[in-house]
Structure 1
């Protein structure tokens, strides 16, 4: 299908511009995506044959970019619905027009190719319009978590060097209160109801401001509204920039769960490669059953790299309809939308899967359209996967990735019959090795740090050439910081993050293993494990538990003794009302350590 990407343009996109370039952001000598050499005895190659997955992808010519992907989609799908949100929808043809209008607006401001533009909003119809507009203008999209504090936003604005920011007014005060606004020159303020139609939009905005009190008072001098930006310049003024696979398209900030958030520079080539890798997986299972009327649930925020790729880029490539959910924490509202639109694909994280299976109304849904449930972002617990399979009739298919890899590194075949508890096999044209502390490759079945080489691996970290260098092995593999085990068939199991390891009397203890074991107790809703200091053993495990019922600390400690060997079992239990989590539901052990006074 890669031939369809190459230079499929339309007359209304004619015109070129060579304003600026992104070369100053490139650290690697060869910025074009490199295809690694995969050893013929790599254990996962047999799995490709068994599951009919292409072992390699064919990259398009170097002068290709995401613009060619977008234009292919607009031409191919035209009147089909691209996105639905809160009952309103836009077609691919409208997405084409609106995104060119935003691109024209940005170019009219004097911004040039390679300039950064921040987008700080949840899943609203404005997001894909703006994101595509930024990239179509030849600029670099900077995804910003709208739940950031002013301090966190200051860091990202300063580090990214963004010159413009699109922000939903609900979070405008966060920007107003940010002490360091970096190089921001232009601010566009969006309202929730901007794309919902005249009557409904007005009602939604009034309710948000005056009834639900969702919008703190703010003042941003010289800002413009989204509607003003959208209508300011005709789409006919759009100048299509000259871009290629080496140009940076996206600045994706890491979650910051292991330190200061860093901006991973992802090129057009990185994102196109990962799109084709996911496409190879989808084709292996659904090539004869691909239906552009399929709906993909987009409850995970599009500013997160997992959702950006799977629910954004890949969904559009296949012509699916993205069902945008602005607030996935409203499970009742989410289930209502699922009942109305019957999604074919449900990408989610363990927290969302877990929340849904504990809602009685979820089990009443019609799952006849469901083709796949895709887990990512964090480990899916076996107990959650078992309940999900029981209710929906399909297993959760787990994958693995990170911001630095666009993000997919590995995945389970879509046709697996049961949840594997593993992250699967390396994506096509991806080489994965597991290494020890001295960067020696460990034997199959042994623990090691997962390291990746492939066309989806980032160019480097924004403003951090030293950290970029330190993130790669001497042989050019990206060090993920995750500890895993690869079996004789090439399937990988995540053991844990390197930093989260607990050292008990010289033995390595992995929090994931403790959490999985303790979550099997029927009174444990969810839990998070960390190591706490102990004079005798160095560290010992402590578990923070969200419970249901009247279970006691003593009961859970006794349960841990039955589930885990001596040095692994919890020594302390603390009940909490909720666990600290990232924007996509990942339990933040760093915050648990802070609660314990360890950081």
Structure 2
């Protein structure tokens, strides 16, 4: 397809970026630490850490990790929320020559067990709040080394102790656990500070991150992201954001609200890694679902950029404390992870004066593919134009390119596209074309200006608050419950989360109850994957060969069992 979108690029945005600008993320971080040494890199609970602080701490942690005997390319899992220990740990893993395996801290034992085994992670850095999950699966994983963090580790002696007391005793957020072999985070830093450190020198084609994403088979797969993939995507984002960032007064440090989870590739690339390059202050929000705490934290800061998902924009804008925050310096609101709703975009613009620029991306593309021009004053309802050095097209079932305006599967080619799925060549072959395009599974149209609009999903994926939920995984879990004959999971519209999971169950045992199904799901599925609506029926719609017709269920409103 002719790159028609280039004719509609905003002034000042380059058509291409140079993904070879850095040899690796290690080189990029080194430059950032040196160039921005006296600037604040991260803010958390009202405190600041300079780039120099992250540099020193990550060197110490890297030296500690190297002392464990890990080999270059070994995988290290990170199970942390948005706290200062996260950037220290990630920088350490990369500088020591290892691979980051991002883990959702809310995973159940079943989900954590799969990811640790599939990635072959030999070490993990984990917050104590989630240690009980690790304890339940540890003996059946390759993990040999555990670094155990607490919320207060980097907050100083008095404040750190107070925060840990509140987390443990007042809010009771740390379930009992026993991991006697675990080394405390602060102990690892102290040991590492006295140990020799040999900085690794990975190349552009070395693996930097395994970013796990759901699969249509129900098995979560690791998107293999190389150093050059993530470098390309942060440079693409920087180029695209340029026109708006130029509006920040000269000499004023750019500050970004980091409410996106850093273990999610959107936050990892657009907040942390881009911030390390540009000298941006990342204001860390560990739990954006706690709206009062989030708004209270934002009252302490002056900020310019706020990437988020539709649900967070909407929830914040409706909160009674919203106007206690100074939004007057906000210049860039980027919506991603899920569709931004017109009503939310209008409300956000009315309340902040800053329009939401909707974008689109996937774990497999590091993540950003398209975005609306950041200086737009109105919401377009599209996912925007392809970023610099990015090509998009729409394909039919046979892989033929379709004309403008015709719905087809969106395919992407560019330097940000993953190397493939970790140890899954067959799965990789299913999504990559012979000429290097990644088939996204989303059905889209491209208009005459090059703007892309998502119209449907080829996969049966459910998108809950920006997180992919795959029906096969839910069905596999529910089907293992005694008393279930068969089941099907589909998405349904939800005002808060965009979509929610609707589960339809056919009983094998009439005594099976909804409470039993919910308890089973709570044990085996993290929160956003759990069904919001559970419905019992006597049968499910099927094809003549017996395949369950999820689309027929989606089109059929919930009803009482017949």
TM > 0.5 fold call = yes
> How far is the alpha carbon of 1:181 from its aligned partner?
4.0
Partner residue in 2 for 1:496:
456
| Matching of residues 545-584 of structure 1 within 5 Å | none
- RMSD, matched Cα: 2.7
Residues 328 and 249 from structure 1, CA distance in 2 versus in 1: closer, same or farther, beyond 3 angstroms? Answer: same
Secondary structure of 1:203's aligned partner: helix
Partner residue in 2 for 1:67:
26
Partner residue in 2 for 1:122:
81
Partner residue in 2 for 1:434:
394
> How far is the alpha carbon of 1:337 from its aligned partner?
1.4
Residues 135 and 449 from structure 1, CA distance in 2 versus in 1: closer, same or farther, beyond 3 angstroms? Answer: same
Partner residue in 2 for 1:44:
5
Q: Indicate conservation of the 8 Å contact 1:309/1:406, yes or no.
A: yes
1: CA distance, partners of 2:348 / 2:491: 28
2: CA distance, partners of 1:378 / 1:155: 25
| Matching of residues 284-295 of structure 1 within 5 Å | 284-287=243-246, 289=248, 293-295=253-255
Deviations 1:444-471 (A, max 9, x none): 1111111011110001111201101111
Say yes or no: does 1:194 pair with 2:144.
Answer: no
Residues 405 and 143 from structure 1, CA distance in 2 versus in 1: closer, same or farther, beyond 3 angstroms? Answer: same
Q: Indicate conservation of the 8 Å contact 1:100/1:235, yes or no.
A: no
Q: Indicate conservation of the 8 Å contact 1:385/1:395, yes or no.
A: yes
Partner residue in 2 for 1:403:
363
Say yes or no: does 1:314 pair with 2:242.
Answer: no
2: CA distance, partners of 1:156 / 1:150: 10
1: CA distance, partners of 2:371 / 2:536: 35
Residues 379 and 238 from structure 1, CA distance in 2 versus in 1: closer, same or farther, beyond 3 angstroms? Answer: same
Residues 224 and 386 from structure 1, CA distance in 2 versus in 1: closer, same or farther, beyond 3 angstroms? Answer: same
> How far is the alpha carbon of 1:496 from its aligned partner?
2.4
Residues 595 and 349 from structure 1, CA distance in 2 versus in 1: closer, same or farther, beyond 3 angstroms? Answer: farther
Deviations 1:252-294 (A, max 9, x none): 1014587321101100000111111111112233246475622
Residues 80 and 56 from structure 1, CA distance in 2 versus in 1: closer, same or farther, beyond 3 angstroms? Answer: same
Partner residue in 1 for 2:354:
394
Structure 2: gaps spanning 5 or more residues: 472-487, 497-520, 541-549, 551-562
Secondary structure of 1:162's aligned partner: coil
Partner residue in 2 for 1:13:
none
Partner residue in 2 for 1:374:
334
Structure 1: gaps spanning 5 or more residues: 1-38, 502-510, 516-527, 531-538, 548-579
Deviates more, 1:211-220 or 1:144-153: 211-220
Partner residue in 2 for 1:459:
419
Q: Indicate conservation of the 8 Å contact 2:216/2:459, yes or no.
A: no
Deviations 1:312-340 (A, max 9, x none): 11122111111101111110111111122
2: CA distance, partners of 1:270 / 1:168: 28
Q: Indicate conservation of the 8 Å contact 1:250/1:265, yes or no.
A: yes
2: CA distance, partners of 1:463 / 1:315: 31
> How far is the alpha carbon of 1:128 from its aligned partner?
0.3
Partner residue in 2 for 1:25:
none
Deviations 1:196-252 (A, max 9, x none): 110010111112112221111101131110011111123771101221100000011
Deviations 1:500-554 (A, max 9, x none): 39xxxxxxxxx99xx9xxxxxxxxxxxx9x9xxxxxxxx9x9956569xxxxxxx
Secondary structure of 1:237's aligned partner: coil
| Matching of residues 350-365 of structure 1 within 5 Å | 350-365=310-325
> Which residue among 275, 296, 313 is the counterpart of 1:336?
296
Deviations 1:401-438 (A, max 9, x none): 00000011111111111111111111111111111111
Q: Indicate conservation of the 8 Å contact 1:388/1:395, yes or no.
A: yes
Residues 355 and 45 from structure 1, CA distance in 2 versus in 1: closer, same or farther, beyond 3 angstroms? Answer: same
> Which residue among 264, 267, 273 is the counterpart of 2:232?
273
> Which residue among 440, 443, 449 is the counterpart of 1:480?
440
Partner residue in 2 for 1:214:
173
> How far is the alpha carbon of 1:42 from its aligned partner?
1.7
Q: Indicate conservation of the 8 Å contact 1:188/1:224, yes or no.
A: yes
Q: Indicate conservation of the 8 Å contact 1:51/1:413, yes or no.
A: no
| Matching of residues 7-26 of structure 1 within 5 Å | none
> How far is the alpha carbon of 1:365 from its aligned partner?
2.8
* TM, length-normalised to structure 1: 0.77
> Which residue among 294, 301, 304 is the counterpart of 2:264?
304
> How far is the alpha carbon of 1:298 from its aligned partner?
0.7
Say yes or no: does 1:347 pair with 2:307.
Answer: yes
Secondary structure of 1:230's aligned partner: helix
Q: What is the number of residues matched between the two proteins?
A: 490
> How far is the alpha carbon of 1:88 from its aligned partner?
2.3
Partner residue in 2 for 1:139:
98
Partner residue in 1 for 2:404:
444
Partner residue in 1 for 2:476:
none
1: CA distance, partners of 2:235 / 2:43: 25
Residues 462 and 217 from structure 1, CA distance in 2 versus in 1: closer, same or farther, beyond 3 angstroms? Answer: same
Residues 224 and 66 from structure 1, CA distance in 2 versus in 1: closer, same or farther, beyond 3 angstroms? Answer: same
Say yes or no: does 1:225 pair with 2:201.
Answer: no
Secondary structure of 1:495's aligned partner: strand
* TM, length-normalised to structure 2: 0.82
Residues 415 and 250 from structure 1, CA distance in 2 versus in 1: closer, same or farther, beyond 3 angstroms? Answer: same
| Matching of residues 469-548 of structure 1 within 5 Å | 469-500=429-460, 543=492
Residues 586 and 475 from structure 1, CA distance in 2 versus in 1: closer, same or farther, beyond 3 angstroms? Answer: farther
Say yes or no: does 1:100 pair with 2:38.
Answer: no
> How far is the alpha carbon of 1:59 from its aligned partner?
2.7
Secondary structure of 2:378's aligned partner: coil
